[in-house]
Amino acid sequence: MLQAARSPKEHPVFTVNGAPLIADISGVVLEPETQTLLVADLHFEKGSAFAARGQLLPPYDTRETLRRLSSAIMRLEAKRVFALGDSFHDLGADGRMHDSDASTLATLVSSVEDWLWIEGNHDPEPPARFGGRTAAQATLGPLTLRHEPVEGPAPGEVAGHLHPCARISVRGRGLRRRCFATDGSRLVLPAFGAFTGGLNVCDPAWRGVFATRPTAWMLGDGGVFPISGPRLRGD
C-alpha cells in the first residue's frame, strides 16, 4: 500500500508558478486565496455513451461523480468551481442524463458563487441549462487554465485531458494510482470522472509537456503522496 512509503497527509500544498495549491485526495486542487476548486475530466454520462454502442456498464457513473464532487466542494469550502474541460463525455450527454442527476448538477452549480465550464475536446459546447459560464480558457492569478496542455514550456498552465496516472514499486509489487503531475512550473490534474482511466506519466506522450519526468502526487490510501520522477515506473 502507498501508506507504507510515506505517512498519510490528506491536504499537502504544492506550488505551481508561484501559486500555492491545496491537493485533495479526491483529485481536485483548491486555490486558497480565492477558494477556487479546480477539477478536470468529469466525463458525465460516459457509461450511457458506452451503453449506446452496446458495451453495457453500470449506469451510475454520473451520480457517483456528482457525489464525490459535492463532497469535495463541501470539505474544501470552495466558493468557486472551475471545471477544466471534458465535463460531459460528448455533446449528447445532456440528453441522456437522468432527471435526478440533472437536478443535482444544477443545484451544485448554483451552490457556489461562480462556476466556470472550460471547453474540452469532448464538450466544445457545454450545455447551458445547468448554469455557470463557459470559456475556452481562463486565468487565475499566475495560472492559465485550459483543457489540453500545450506543447513546450507553459509556466502557470493547469490543464487536464491526459488523465495522469503513476506506477511505483512498493515491497516488490507494482502500485498504480491516479496522480497530479507537476514540475513546479505547470500542472496536469487527474481525471475525476468515475469511469475515467489514466495515462502513465512515463508514457512518451508526456514528453511534449514536461522536459523531465515530473513529480507525481499520487492519490493513495488516506492521503496524497509525492513521488519523485526517478521512482516512477512504466506500465
pLDDT tens digits, one per residue of 138-191? 999 999 999 999 999 999 999 999 999 999 998 878 899 999 999 999 999 999
Q: pLDDT > 70: what percent of the chain?
A: 90
Say how far apart CA 134 and CA 142 lie, in whole Å. Answer: 20
Q: What is the rounded average pLDDT for all residues in the chain?
A: 91
**Domains assigned to the chain:** 2-231 (3.60.21)
Residues 111/104, Cβ–Cβ less than 8 Å: no
- Across residues 13-35, what is the average pLDDT? 97
Assess whether pLDDT exceeds 90 at residue 49: no
Residue 167 Cα to chain centre, angstroms? 18
Burial of 106 (0-12, 13-18, 19+ CB in 10 A): middle
Residue with C-alpha cell 455513451? Answer: 49
pLDDT score of 88 = 93
pLDDT score of 53 = 67
Residues 195/57, Cβ–Cβ less than 8 Å: yes
| pLDDT, tens only, 58-74 | 668 999 999 999 999 99
pLDDT score of 52 = 62
Q: Which residue has the higher pLDDT, 84 or 45?
A: 84
pLDDT score of 8 = 40
